[in-house]
Amino acid sequence: KIRHDEKLQTYLNRTKLNIGTLPPEGRERTEITVSNIAAKICSDLALPKHIIDKAAAHARRILRASRGAKHRVTLNEAAVAGVICACKESRHPYSLKRIAEAVGMDPNGVYRLLARISRFYQLPQGIISPERYVRFIGARLANRGIDPHYLSLTEQYACSLLRMEGEAASKAPLFAAAEALVAADERMAHRIGRERIAEEIGAVANGSFTKSVRRLKNSQVTPPVEAMEYLIQAFWED
């Protein structure tokens, strides 16, 4: 007759679990699943490993808090909120629209989701500067075949505009960065185009930041000296 502990050992051997471990049960299994969803979102968006770890931890804690507060949160919702919390906590630029799209959620619904979660979970309040978003958008534009040197100068000029004329930009750091990049590009040689920049942040080029761009373009801050060759070239091309 096979004893109970022998049956357990046979099971552990078949499932490749170590002695002393048991298969995850109920809530633990759910937390593993939500961690995996959060990790996949981060991987799809090419976020760094420390963000992945924090996102998984936040997602698990959100699930636990929702149970205690008796608020229903789906695994996808907890994962999305976890990724956003991790980015904010680490002050790492992110696109809320792309995070939502990674799990097929409506981006507009994410704002409502965060408001709902904030009732029972303390969301990080880290503020990400627009200048960091300039680099974030620039990295995405770099994959679209834009001259790397010109792009670097545009980012540099956009950051200068934000430092000197920040009050002329939008309050949302992602939009402020996009506006500064558009203004910098149009003050220089117009080699990127506001349509491309708007597309990277999920905005409409002609309706989202026209007024702010106009104010930034009137800034007394001049383009980098190194950009002169592009300005001259643009002049002769016109």
Per-residue confidence (pLDDT) for residue 205, from 0 to 100: 60
Per-residue confidence (pLDDT) for residue 135, from 0 to 100: 94
Closest CA to 189 of 144, 162, 157, 159: 157
Per-residue confidence (pLDDT) for residue 9, from 0 to 100: 57
Per-residue confidence (pLDDT) for residue 162, from 0 to 100: 92
Residues 28 and 53 reside in one and the same domain: yes
Residues 170 and 231 reside in one and the same domain: yes
208 belongs to a structural domain: yes
Residues 153 and 79 reside in one and the same domain: no
Where among 58, 92, 117 does a domain terminate?
Answer: 117
Contact 145, 185 (CB under 8 A): no
125 belongs to a structural domain: no
Per-residue confidence (pLDDT) for residue 133, from 0 to 100: 94
123 belongs to a structural domain: no
75 belongs to a structural domain: yes
Q: What is the DSSP string of 50-79?
A: HHHHHHHHHHHHHHHHHHHHT----HHHHH
Residues 75 and 138 reside in one and the same domain: no
122 belongs to a structural domain: no
Which domain range does residue 55 map to? 4-117
Task: Please state whether 193 falls in left (phi above 0), alpha (psi between -120 and 50) or beta.
Answer: left
Residues 44 and 84 reside in one and the same domain: yes
Per-residue confidence (pLDDT) for residue 64, from 0 to 100: 92
124 belongs to a structural domain: no
Cα gap 182→51, rounded to integer Å: 29
Per-residue confidence (pLDDT) for residue 1, from 0 to 100: 43
Chain centroid to CA 26? 31
Closest CA to 52 of 102, 98, 29, 86: 86
Chain centroid to CA 18? 38
Where among 96, 117, 138 does a domain terminate?
Answer: 117
Overall domain count for the chain: 2
Q: Which residues contact 187 (CB under 8 A, 6 or more apart)?
A: 157, 217, 223
Q: What is the DSSP string of the chain?
A: ---HHHHHHHHHHHTTPPTT-----HHHHHHHHHHHHHHHHHHHTT--HHHHHHHHHHHHHHHHHHHHHT----HHHHHHHHHHHHHHHHT----HHHHHHHTT--HHHHHHHHHHHTTTS----PPPPHHHHHHHHHHHHGGGT--HHHHHHHHHHHHHHHHHHGGGS-SSHHHHHHHHHHHHHHHTT--S-HHHHHHHHT--HHHHSHHHHHHHHT-SPPPPGGGHHHHHHHHHH-
Where among 88, 117, 146 does a domain terminate?
Answer: 117
Per-residue confidence (pLDDT) for residue 144, from 0 to 100: 86
82 belongs to a structural domain: yes
Residues 46 and 80 reside in one and the same domain: yes
Residues 97 and 37 reside in one and the same domain: yes
Residues 10 and 112 reside in one and the same domain: yes
Residues 92 and 140 reside in one and the same domain: no
Residues 147 and 109 reside in one and the same domain: no
Per-residue confidence (pLDDT) for residue 165, from 0 to 100: 82
Per-residue confidence (pLDDT) for residue 234, from 0 to 100: 59
Which token pair is 175? Answer: 């939009």
Instruction: Give helix 26-44 / helix 49-69 axis angle, nearest 10°.
Output: 140
Residues 212 and 167 reside in one and the same domain: yes
Q: What is the mean pLDDT of each run of 10 residues along the chain (238 residues)?
A: 56 51 71 94 93 96 88 92 95 89 87 93 89 93 89 94 78 88 92 90 67 85 81 61
Residues 39 and 83 reside in one and the same domain: yes
216 belongs to a structural domain: yes
Per-residue confidence (pLDDT) for residue 214, from 0 to 100: 85
User: The domain that contains 19 carries what CATH number?
Assistant: 1.10.472.10
